[in-house]
């Protein structure tokens, strides 16, 4: 299959390498001609240190390369995905399978990444989402990983599954695009909060409490938006939450760790040295929750830390002092 990848960050590069391993003809696009030339010359990408690009992988700064692609993968950061999709749109042919590997919600529109791609590209192209617990560093080293290919059209989901799956990268199909994408966006907010907990030295009990109750928030949001609660217990939900909250690879956790240790938010974001998706997602999730009338106390607390100069210790106290409640929505009279 001829595949074009928009986005030469760590994730886009790792997926391009995976697709090359699977025998596809793959081209990786970067907006920077100098970076493209350097990657061709050195067969390295600074965004993915320690990995060598396969000789079969083409690298370009020309977006028109997508004209011959049967599948186009979008792996840009969420905050520039619309710009990337707009750049790509003139070169994508009708019927081309489009795959979003970006995780986020667009601030102001509350659109998911697949919706942005569909809006910008159009042309009756099917759009799928690829998501799950998948750090680029480990995928590039061919370490065992599992993901989800989500699309309302099962045939399209299975085509994406076939393109990406191999002995070390297992892909499951899922029809719940809404749930898969929302889980992928909100978990970055939660991972940032978990980093703060670690930075404050609050312990494993607090982190387990935070992650578990955060998953309840994600499930409420998914259901209100039209997704399925069951998705939250799968790879795109709990799986991705675990790896992003606990792994040293996680940029969101790293940023939270610095904030918990006293660094100003702006400094923490700079220190990480790459896009911290949870920072942007916190504002978008807050907007979406308010729009849908969903209570999101944990996500709202992380937003307060990032955008309202709220002190981490105070945010934690407020969460712990909330009113007593039942863990689940039981109907006690029928039990």
DSSP 8-state code for residue 149: E
> Are 165 and 159 contacting, i.e. CB atoms less than 8 angstroms apart?
no
Distance of CA 271 to the CA centre of its chain: 20
The CA–CA distances, whole Å, from 62 to 36, 65, 67, 77, 197 equal 10, 6, 11, 19, 43
Give the active site residue among 44, 55, 103, 187. 187
DSSP 8-state code for residue 318: H
Active site residue 55: no
Tell me the C-alpha distance between 95 and 104, whole Å: 25
> Are 157 and 256 contacting, i.e. CB atoms less than 8 angstroms apart?
no
Tell me the C-alpha distance between 202 and 196, whole Å: 9
> Are 186 and 170 contacting, i.e. CB atoms less than 8 angstroms apart?
no
Tell me the C-alpha distance between 101 and 15, whole Å: 9
Instruction: Name the residues annotated as catalytic.
Output: 187
């Amino acid at each position: 299959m001829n595949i074009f990848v928009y986005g030469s960050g760590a994730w886009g590069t790792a997926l391009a390498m995976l697709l090359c391993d699977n025998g596809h003809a793959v081209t990786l696009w970067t907006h920077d001609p100098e970076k493209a030339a350097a990657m061709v010359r050195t067969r390295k990408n600074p965004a993915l240190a320690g990995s060598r690009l396969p000789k079969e992988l083409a690298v370009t700064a020309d977006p028109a390369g997508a004209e011959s692609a049967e599948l186009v993968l979008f792996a840009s950061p969420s905050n520039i995905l619309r710009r990337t999709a707009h750049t790509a749109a003139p070169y994508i042919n009708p019927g081309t399978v489009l795959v979003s590997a970006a995780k986020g919600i667009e601030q102001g529109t509350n659109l998911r990444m697949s919706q942005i791609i569909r809006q910008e590209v159009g042309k009756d192209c099917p759009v799928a989402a690829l998501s799950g617990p998948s750090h680029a560093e480990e995928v590039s080293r061919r370490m065992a990983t599992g993901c989800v290919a989500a699309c309302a059209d099962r045939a399209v989901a299975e085509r994406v599954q076939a393109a990406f799956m191999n002995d070390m990268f297992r892909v499951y199909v899922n029809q719940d695009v809404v749930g898969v994408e929302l889980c992928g966006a909100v978990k970055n907010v939660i991972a940032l909060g978990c980093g703060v907990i670690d930075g404050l030295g609050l312990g494993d009990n607090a982190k387990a409490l935070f992650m578990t109750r955060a998953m309840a928030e994600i499930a409420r949001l998914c259901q209100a938006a039209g997704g399925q609660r069951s998705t939250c217990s799968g790879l795109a939900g709990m799986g991705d939450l675990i790896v992003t909250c606990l792994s040293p690879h996680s940029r969101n956790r790293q940023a939270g760790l610095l904030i918990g240790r006293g660094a100003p938010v702006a400094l923490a974001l700079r220190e990480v040295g790459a896009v911290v998706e949870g920072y942007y997602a916190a504002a978008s999730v807050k907007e979406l929750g308010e729009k849908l009338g969903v209570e999101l106390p944990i996500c709202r607390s992380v937003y307060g830390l990032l955008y309202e100069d709220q002190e981490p210790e105070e945010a934690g106290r407020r969460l712990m002092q909330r009113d007593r409640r039942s863990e689940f929505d039981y109907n006690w009279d029928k039990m």
